[in-house]
Structure 1
């Protein structure tokens, strides 16, 4: 009996992920949790600035704000108000971000204003990491994505 082997490709994996994103959102969050550790991209200076800014324990984790803002872009959520509404309605989204309660709109605004330089540095590190992967999937699309993230 002959064995049928199937060569996995990055493009097939990307397509499967895209299908899962559309058809099965809880599985999409599980996939992100298994394969994407946002803390690897956060510079130590960002952690220091975020947790020393107030001089007391924060109610919301740094990774929570960052995860929420990244998911806002992934899901094409146009406003922070709509993001907050979805966080309130979707337990999987809230859990993925690590929020036991959802931050108010002014907190998101202050976060983006107070830590703009740190966010820029972190996203540049993410581009440096993901750009070679995108090149393997589709080089012409990778150029557009790299330009868009800047």
Structure 2
């Protein structure tokens, strides 16, 4: 999950849903081992008794959805590159820029703070944020 070819992946490449599903699987197996065995047991001791693995019900993702996810990954990487370039490699400054681009005002006139991490952006937000960051990047590029 977090390693590829015996090397740790950068956090931007780790899929959050994989982490959630692995954590759920571990939690279920620990709960079952506590109920059945009364405490900590090894994975080998659990095999065949009552171990479970979290799976998803429903059809596999459609090609359109997979295409959207791939597009999202590309846009997320482009946003990261533009932010790093605008912030001269300073991640904190890049987070400040992203927060400024993603903040908004709700119907009550309250300012809703923006996202400081590109991993927090949803699939629906990605296209809008990509467009805004690209516009900000082009303006920055013209002024430098």
Q: TM-score range by the shorter chain?
A: under 0.3
Quick one: higher RCO (CA 8 Å, sep 6+), 1 or 2?
Answer: 1
Higher helix share: 1
Query: What TM-score, normalized by structure 2, do the two folds share?
Result: 0.21
Q: Which has the larger Rg?
A: 2
The structure that is strand-richer by fraction is: 2
